[in-house]
Chains A and B, each alone.
Chain A
Amino acid sequence: NAGVMQNPRHLVRRRGQEARLRCSPMKGHSHVYWYRQLPEEGLKFMVYLQKENIIDESGMPKERFSAEFPKEGPSILRIQQVVRGDSAAYFCASSNQETQYFGPGTRLLVL
């Protein structure tokens, strides 16, 4: 019974490049959440998705960030034209509508 999977676990990008972070929810879960943990800070909500729908994106920066959860395949968090301030750990969680189960995170470093 695989848990929530995220890849890559570590990602290094130069300023201006694109970062794509993937999240495969637990089997049977159709709700996915993305969180960001900046250095020395707690987990901050970014976006809540169900299959093919964005339910709540109130925590997403207005520019450069987008997320999707297609009918088939993993959820993708996409950051275009990365800047140094995007360096953080990005966690996704999937839900059975009772609680959220977290993936191991992707640590993004922007050089």
Chain B
Amino acid sequence: ILNVEQSPQSLHVQEGDSTNFTCSFPSSNFYALHWYRWETAKSPEALFVMTLNGDEKKKGRISATLNTKEGYSYLYIKGSQPEDSATYLCAFDTGNQFYFGTGTSLTVIP
């Protein structure tokens, strides 16, 4: 059983604060690492696909880094806004299956 862990489980930040959270995954059988944003009552929305060690991707105020050798990825949000409130999921991709973490629930307080 592949273990994908995300921390923290939940996070409350003030509007304007920057924040980051972690996804830990096995260092073997790696094909790709995916980040999703999942708002309540909606479906997960793809943010990033990361494949290479050292990759860094950016989309507006959100960015992510990848370290496949030590098995972790960080997601950063700069200047959090209330609309960033959501659960952020990472998924470890073996090329055949996605293994999802349980997510980090972010609440941005106005």
Residues on A close to B: CB < 8 A?
4, 33, 35, 41-45, 48, 55-56, 58-59, 91, 98-105
Task: Tell me what chain A mostly uses at the interface: helix, strand, loop, or mixed.
Answer: strand
B100 within 8 A of A: yes
Q: Which residues of B contact A45 (CB under 8 A)?
A: 97-100
Q: Which residue of A lies closest to B41 (CB)?
A: A104
8 smallest beta-carbon distances between A and B, as pairs:
A102-B43, A42-B102, A43-B100, A102-B44, A99-B49, A99-B46, A104-B43, A42-B100
Q: How far is the CB of A11 from chain B (nearest CB, A)?
A: 16
The reply to whether B49 and A104 form a contact with Cβ atoms under 8 Å apart is no
**Chain A residues positioned under 8 Å from B98 (CB to CB):** 33, 45, 100
* A98 and B42 contact, Cβ closer than 8 Å, known pairs A42-B89, A58-B97: no
Pick the residue among A33, A48, A56, A91 that contacts B43 (CB under 8 A): A91
- In angstroms, Cα B89 to Cα A100, docked, is 13
Contacts of B101 in A (CB 8 A): 42
Report the nearest B residue to A100, measured CB to CB. Answer: B98
Interface residues, chain B, CB within 8 Å of chain A?
A: 34, 36, 42-46, 49, 89, 91, 96-103
Chain A, Cβ-Cβ closest to B49: A99
B interface, over-half SS = strand
B46 with A100: CB separation less than 8 A:
yes
Bound-state Cα–Cα, A56 to B94, Å:
12
Which residues of chain A are near B42, meaning CB under 8 Å?
Answer: 104
Closest residue to B96 on the A side, CB-wise?
A: A56
Q: How far is the CA of A44 from the CA of B103 in the complex (A)?
A: 12
CA distance in complex: A59, B98 (Å):
11
Q: A42-B89, A42-B102 are in contact. Are A55 and B96 (CB under 8 A)?
A: yes
Q: How far is the CA of A42 from the CA of B100 in the complex (A)?
A: 7
Complex partner residue of A99 from B34, B99, B102, CB under 8 angstroms: B34
Report B57 CB to chain A, min CB distance, Å.
Answer: 12
**Which residues of chain A have C-beta atoms less than 8 A from B100's C-beta?**
35, 42-45
